[in-house]
Amino acid sequence: AQTVTQSQPEMSVQEAETVTLSCTYDTSENNYYLFWYKQPPSRQMILVIRQEAYKQQNATENRFSVNFQKAAKSFSLKISDSQLGDTAMYFCAFISGDNNDMRFGAGTRLTVKP
């Protein structure tokens, strides 16, 4: 069964600095998709970024980028120029191409300090 591990329960960063959130996953499949979702205090789940396993290029979305290491089964999220509004829980998620059971990590609570 696929598992997703986020080893950092909590992290903090100063405003305007860069922070990296870690995520590892376990799968024997070759076709899968990875996501980072953000959950601010409102509890809404907001998509941050998506990565297809078949793409070698790391996904980027403005200040958010990932470091996808397929062989190491690692999928970290880098947030540049951190803003106060980035304060939230961040969840790493895995979904197979053939199975719609999306698996989530336990989350990392990120606090951006002024």
Interface ranges with other proteins (CB under 8 A): 31, 33, 35, 37, 42-47, 50, 91, 95-107
**Smallest gap from residue 24 Cβ to other proteins (A):** 16
* Least gap, CB of 96 to other proteins (angstroms): 8
CA distance 99 to 114: 42
Least separation in angstroms between CB 77 and other proteins: 16
Nearer to other proteins, 16 or 47 (CB): 47
- CA-based angle 25:28:31, to the nearest 5? 85
Specify the residue, 50 or 73, whose C-beta has the smaller distance to other proteins: 50
**Which residue carries 């990565």 as its tokens?**
51
Is the CB of 14 or the CB of 44 nearer to other proteins? 44
Cβ proximity of 104 and 4 under 8 Å: yes
| Cβ neighbours of 17 (radius 10 Å) | 13
